[in-house]
Amino acid sequence: MNASTVRTVQKPKPNYETIAWKWMRYSALLLIPLVWGHVLLQDIIVGVHRIDLDYVALRWASIGWRTYDTLLLAFAFAHGVNGIRQVLRDYIHSPAKQKWLNWGLLAFWVVIVAIGGIALIGGVRTIP
């Protein structure tokens, strides 16, 4: 092989799109087992007919379950917000407006996940 047949591959600089693309792939690897674990526990092992206020209070007495539910909320909502972002990009063509859209949706995601996380992790008191 001579030097004229060797190609160099340039790695693109990370930008918002590449970071969002990677985040969706990596978070999906965590979201899938979280969702199926939730379905398995709530619908199959416990059964929806046995879920009541006492069950929820007992489950949320553990910081582990509250963290699990917060992660489930964060990853699922991130996928939803990214879907909204992709749809709106079809209608918003100005780069400046797309930048505002990206940052606005990111702020929206952070606020909603923070409120949900505070409600799930910090807002539940254990039963004495």
State the pLDDT confidence band at 96, using cuts at 50, 70 and 90: very high
pLDDT of residue 90: 93
Q: Using CA atoms, how far apart are residues 106 and 118, in angstroms rounded to an integer?
A: 18
Mean pLDDT of the chain: 88
pLDDT of residue 124: 54
pLDDT > 90 fraction of the chain, expressed in percent and rounded: 53
Pick from 43, 42, 30, 112: which is nearest to 71 by CA?
30
> What is the average per-residue pLDDT within 19-37?
89
pLDDT at 117 over 60: yes
What domains can be seen in the chain, in order of their start residue? Answer: 15-122 (1.20.1300)
Instruction: Give start and end residues of each alpha helix (H) in 40-126.
Output: 53-59, 63-89, 95-117
pLDDT of residue 2: 60
pLDDT of residue 19: 85
Q: Of 19-23, 64-68, 116-120, which gets the smallest average pLDDT?
A: 19-23
Q: What is the pLDDT of residues 50-66, one digit of tens each?
A: 989 899 888 888 889 99
Report yes or no: 24 and 84 within 8 Å, Cβ to Cβ.
no
